[in-house]
Amino acid sequence: MKWLLRVLPRLRKKQSTRKQNDARIVDNPSRSVDVIEVPRAPGGSKEKRELTPDEKLEKCDMHASEVAKLDWNCILIYTDAGDKDGKRGMAGWFGTGHRLNFGEPLKATHPKMKHSEYLEMIAVQEALNRLSQWSDYCCQPVMIFTDNEQVVRLLDPSKEPTCQNEYAVRKAKEIRALILETFHDRVQVRHVKGHIGIPGNEKALVREVRQM
């Protein structure tokens, strides 16, 4: 929670600075906006327009409010995975300096294993495996945040996993079984807007890209 209180004032200060330049940005359409180039595998979501600073701040505030409502002992995990120039990486972030943080290269040889939802679920599965083996884990509730909406749908326990990628469906069933048997259904997976300044998501991205 402390990192949310630290980052929001900085985001607001950044927003104020950008507002002073809004008129010049409109007058000069050729001026570039802040865009983070994120490695994405084939089959990922279509490219969307860049969010404005106000929209980014609003989504950061909404995420902070969502986290604030969680149980005090809830374990937060941010996962990410991607593909760039044939190199793939995955990462998980549990908190600053946490011993379970990880970033590793991925080797997926089959074309269908290169789709974004499959890679993202490998990261989710790795995070859960590490958590299950952690000596300090004592059945606390777990919240995993991913910026891939398809992964959230595939891991929704109230629906049958459906996807054109058969490998992704199999992986989803594996993770669901892990959540039920090892974590006694105390794990939730939710979507977070990717790469707009939310610390956990950005930390996972940095660890992921280092593996490529």
- Please choose, from the candidates 143, 103, 149, the residue with its C-alpha nearest in 3D space to the C-alpha of residue 126: 103
**Angle, to 10 degrees, between the axis of helix 2-20 and the axis of helix 199-209?**
90
CATH number, residue 7: 3.30.420.10
- Please choose, from the candidates 55, 79, 81, 78, the residue with its C-alpha nearest in 3D space to the C-alpha of residue 4: 78
- Split into its structural domains, the chain has a count of 1
- Please choose, from the candidates 102, 100, 112, 121, the residue with its C-alpha nearest in 3D space to the C-alpha of residue 174: 121
pTM of the entire predicted model: 0.75
pLDDT tens digits for range 52-100 = 989 999 999 999 999 999 999 999 999 999 887 778 889 999 999 999 9
Which whole number is the average pLDDT over 124-143?
96
pLDDT tens digits for range 179-208 = 999 999 999 999 999 988 898 888 888 776
Confidence band, pLDDT 50/70/90 cuts, at residue 135: very high
Q: Contact at 8 Å (CB) between 63 and 192? A: yes
Which whole number is the average pLDDT over 34-57?
62
Helix H or strand E segment including 53? helix 53-68
Distance of CA 5 to the CA centre of its chain: 20
Residue 154: give the domain boundaries. 2-209
Mean pLDDT rounded to a whole number for the chain: 80
* Between 199 and 34, residue with greater pLDDT: 199
Rounded to a whole number of angstroms, the distance between the first and last alpha carbons of the chain is 31
